[in-house]
């Protein structure tokens, strides 16, 4: 039984807490002095590959990466 | 909120802002991008944040630029999501600004 308290504005706009928290972190990283900023930006880089499974077999993976090819 | 030994066990969600740790007369301040504070019954506190930076690593001119940029984005935002992102920008940069101006 949820209370009638107001939801946070980001949740009301359809954003999850993780999305909100990552956006906040990204903004803070962009406001740093050098050299801290370049270290922080490198922390933000992701590299992963996702495949959906259908009928017990993986389909073609999608790769999301910030690494230069 | 202030936490001293003997604080009630609490889980608190933290807004972007300053965490100051006092060890005797030594005070260390960090800016947290957002996160949680877990205070356990044995007076141990855990602070969880994605980014925690010492205040002197923050660049004032970038904060001003960001604040102006997101204030402008809020007025030109159309969808709920754009408005939420712009509002987050304003909240985070205002908190950064109060952190550097002490």
User: What residue ranges do the domains of chain A occupy?
Assistant: 2-65
The whole domain housing B95 covers 60-101
Of A12, A28, A33, the CB nearest to B92: A28
For A65, the token pair is: 């990466």
Q: In terms of domains, do B40 and B76 share one?
A: no
Rounded CA-CA distance B44/A1 in Å is 32
Do the Cβ atoms of A28 and B59 come within 8 Å?
no
Number of domains in chain B: 2
User: ipTM for the complex?
Assistant: 0.85
Tens digits of residue pLDDT in A13-65: 889 999 999 999 989 998 888 888 888 888 888 888 888 888 888 887 777 77
Task: State the residue for tokens 């308290």.
Answer: A5
Residues 6+ apart with CB under 8 A from A7: none
**Assessment of whether the complete model's pTM goes beyond 0.90:** no
Residue B29 lies in a domain: yes
């Amino acid at each position: 039984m949820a209370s009638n308290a107001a939801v946070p504005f980001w949740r009301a706009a359809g954003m999850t807490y993780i999305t909100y928290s990552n956006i906040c972190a990204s903004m803070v990283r962009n406001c740093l002095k050098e050299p801290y900023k370049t270290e922080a930006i490198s922390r933000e880089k992701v590299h992963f590959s996702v495949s959906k499974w259908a009928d017990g077999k993986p389909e073609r993976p999608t790769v999301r990466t910030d690494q230069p090819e | 909120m202030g936490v001293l030994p003997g604080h009630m066990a609490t889980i608190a969600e933290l807004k972007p802002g300053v965490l100051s740790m006092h060890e005797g007369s030594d005070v260390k301040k960090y800016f947290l991008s957002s996160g949680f504070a877990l205070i356990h019954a044995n007076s141990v506190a855990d602070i969880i944040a994605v980014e925690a930076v010492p205040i002197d690593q923050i660049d004032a001119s970038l904060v001003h630029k960001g604040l102006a940029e997101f204030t402008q984005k809020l007025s030109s935002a159309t969808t709920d999501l754009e408005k939420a992102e712009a509002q987050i920008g304003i909240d985070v940069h205002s908190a950064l600004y109060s952190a550097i101006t002490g």
